[in-house]
Amino acid sequence: MAAAPGTLSFAVRSALGETGALGATVRQLARRVEDTPGRIEAVLDTLSRRGDVLRIGRGLWMLSAYERLDGRSDFVDPRAFVERFEQESGVSLGRYSGPITFRSNESLPVHRWWPYVQGYSAEFVAGVLAEQGVGRGSTVLDPFAGSGTSLVEARRAGARAWGTELLAPAVLASRVKTHLELVPSHLAAGARQFLVAARRRRPGPLPFLRETRRQFSLAALGELTRLRDALPPEGSPVADALRLAFGQILIPASRLHRSPCLGYDRRAREDGPGPFERFRAAVREMTEDLGVVRAERVRLGPPATVRQRDARDGGWPQRSVDLAVTSPPYVNGMDYVMNYKVDLAWLGYARSYGDLRALRRVEVACDNLPRSETAAYVAIDHLPDPWLAEILPRIRENIRRKGTYRRDDMHAVVHRYFSDIVPVLADVRRTLVPGGRFVVVVGDSLLAGTYVPGDLLLARIGAALGFSIVSVEVARSRRSGQRRSFELRESVVTLARPKSAG
Ligand SMILES: C[S@@+](CC[C@H](N)C(=O)[O-])C[C@H]1O[C@@H](n2cnc3c(N)ncnc32)[C@H](O)[C@@H]1O
């Protein structure tokens, strides 16, 4: 039954109609129709009992008519993009059936030293290396090295491993995890001495993060500051391993968790082991694992090189890499700086909010980027791919219709994201030997009610830069954070530098 014009019910329905597939929260609706949140909630309750409106997650409400995005005239669905991609590129989407997420690494020696939810599986990397015949004498590059999954596996395959990564804690993890020559008894002795020194210390100052006292119990803060202040300076294999063990216990010793975004854990772990005990356990795990991989040492490739820098700057020698394998940030997937701020602050890599902001300006674009960084991308021109000429205006239009969204320049964030990816693709192409491959694990996104095929766009941009598209294989499906019922995917895109091209 349609509500009569002039009633609150009519106003709420009209306001929801304007926000379309994006939906709106109670507070947003209250502002829009100039009424109280309490009265809006009551109207939504009635409308929802009638089946006229529904909740779509994160406190958002939507008209039921917008429930299915596909089929709407203002929505281009994943299938349509796949069809166009297959037609235009001549490449049909395939399937990758092995494990792809980091989860399987959590029980693997070495990989488990710094659980990185955003990482991919060691088994996936090992499979790619084997398939490409990587071995002694080969060079493998990972421009977004993260916790070093690719680099560890490349060394274990006998290859030279090169990586770049922006976040210092991840660089530390990559360095320690690739230094498998570390003698377990040296680490154990170093840890014993270190713990004696830490126990003798008094609790020290807290890092700059405003929420530190909420994030940790008082007892944990006391032990953590003593551990932190006793850490030897970075630079030797034992000192770096101790630092990583300290980094590894930070979140488990806090009231936070990552799933995958950093948030408070409702089941606070106040009564779990304290930081000293957790630290001892982390070092024990490392010494055990170093013992397990000891036999592999003779087969390892040369020491890995991990540079802390912006992947867009590249800088590796031309035609020197046999295989590049990576997983970049996804379109608006994750603000890594935000997610690793605790690690950055406690490990001394960021000393102020200004330091965090500076890092955010360099990381591949996500929606926490300051507006000054997207200003050059507001105009829909100079696009890395023609498909963006359709996608970006759709994002802009949906947000304009809704009136309130996290930010009104979201299309510029997406524009900048793909512009950030271009120099990385171009530089990897330059560093690959002719015939060399670039294997990229990347996902698609749903943003402001607009579908963005991140994997297909990356493949297309690669093709425009002179790669040939070897394959796009769907590895798994994911749920959209914006709308739980919407299925997204994660794909393995394989590009090749043609043998004959210059
Ligand atoms: C999906 S993760 C890579 C995870 C990795 N495959 C692993 O298994 O650990 C993407 C990484 O890109 C990094 N990153 C973001 N922007 C960057 C930039 N401009 N330069 C270098 N690294 C960057 C993030 O810090 C993050 O570690």
Task: Point out the domain boundary residue: 66, 94, 114.
Answer: 66
76 assigned to some structural domain: no
Distance 126 CA to ligand 1 centre (A): 19
349 assigned to some structural domain: yes
Distance 120 CA to ligand 1 centre (A): 11
Cα–Cα separations (whole angstroms), residue 45 to 39, 42, 170, 483 = 10, 5, 47, 20
Instruction: Give pLDDT, residue 2.
Output: 58
Task: Point out the domain boundary residue: 348, 363, 378.
Answer: 363
Residue 131 structure tokens: 């398939």
Asked whether 189 and 164 are in contact (CB, 8 A), the reply is no
26 assigned to some structural domain: yes
118 assigned to some structural domain: no
308 assigned to some structural domain: no
Nearest to 55 by CA among 485, 350, 488, 499: 485
**Which secondary-structure segment (H or E) carries 133?**
none
Q: pTM here? A: 0.89
349 and 211 share a domain? yes
Distance 306 CA to ligand 1 centre (A): 12
Distance 166 CA to ligand 1 centre (A): 7
Residues with CB under 6 A from ligand 1: 116, 118-120, 144, 146-147, 149, 164-167, 170, 310-312, 327-329, 336, 362-364
Distance 147 CA to ligand 1 centre (A): 8
Atom of ligand 1 nearest to the CA of 420: 19
CA angle 319, 322, 328 (to 5 degrees): 95
Atom of ligand 1 nearest to the CA of 328: 10
Chain center to CA of 381: 27
How would you classify the pairing of strands 94-95 and 468-479? parallel
Distance 91 CA to ligand 1 centre (A): 27
The three-state DSSP-derived secondary structure of 25-69 is: CHHHHHHHHCCCHHHHHHHHHHHHHCCCEEEEECCEEEEHHHCCC
| DSSP three-state, residue 333 | coil
Report which protein residue has its CA nearest ligand 1's atom 15. 363
Report which protein residue has its CA nearest ligand 1's atom 6. 119
Ligand 1: which of 144, 149, 490 to mutate, most ligand atoms within 8 Å of CB? 144
Asked whether 85 and 459 are in contact (CB, 8 A), the reply is yes
209 and 340 share a domain? yes
Atom of ligand 1 nearest to the CA of 330: 1
Helix axes 184-200, 237-249, angle to 10 degrees: 60
Distance 171 CA to ligand 1 centre (A): 10
Instruction: Give pLDDT, residue 18.
Output: 79
194 assigned to some structural domain: yes
459 assigned to some structural domain: no
Distance 333 CA to ligand 1 centre (A): 12
Asked whether 154 and 97 are in contact (CB, 8 A), the reply is no
Task: Point out the domain boundary residue: 312, 347, 363.
Answer: 363
Q: Where are the alpha helices (DSSP H) in 294-409?
A: 336-339, 341-346, 353-362, 371-374, 388-402
Q: Residue 197 is part of which domain span? A: 181-292+333-363
Ligand 1: which of 101, 140, 164, 166 to mutate, most ligand atoms within 8 Å of CB? 166
Helix axes 275-292, 237-249, angle to 10 degrees: 130
Ligand 1: which of 116, 118, 162, 306 to mutate, most ligand atoms within 8 Å of CB? 118
209 and 358 share a domain? yes
**CATH number of the structural domain spanning residue 25:** 1.10.10.10
Asked whether 241 and 187 are in contact (CB, 8 A), the reply is yes
Q: From CA 422, how far away is CA 435, in angstroms rounded?
A: 20
Nearest to 116 by CA among 80, 167, 188: 167
Full pLDDT tens readout for the chain, 502 residues: 556 778 999 999 988 887 777 788 899 899 989 999 999 999 999 999 988 888 877 788 888 877 766 666 667 889 999 999 999 999 999 999 989 999 999 999 999 999 898 999 999 999 999 999 999 999 999 999 999 999 999 999 999 999 999 999 999 999 999 999 999 999 999 999 999 999 999 999 999 999 999 999 999 999 999 999 999 999 999 999 999 999 999 999 999 998 778 888 876 666 689 999 999 999 999 999 999 999 998 899 999 999 999 999 999 999 999 999 999 999 877 899 999 999 999 999 999 999 999 999 999 988 888 899 999 999 999 999 999 999 999 999 988 887 767 788 999 999 999 999 999 999 999 999 999 999 999 999 998 889 999 999 999 999 999 999 999 999 999 877 767 678 899 999 999 999 975 5
61 and 185 share a domain? no
Atom of ligand 1 nearest to the CA of 164: 21
The set of residues, in sequence order, having a beta carbon less than 8 Å from that of 326 and lying 6+ positions away, is 142, 143, 144, 145, 150, 438, 439, 440, 441
Instruction: Give pLDDT, residue 77.
Output: 86
60 and 185 share a domain? no
Asked whether 237 and 286 are in contact (CB, 8 A), the reply is no
Report which protein residue has its CA nearest ligand 1's atom 23. 166
* Domain total in the chain: 2
CB burial of residue 74 (10 Å; 0-12, 13-18, 19+): middle
465 assigned to some structural domain: no
Ligand 1: which of 178, 326, 364 to mutate, most ligand atoms within 8 Å of CB? 364
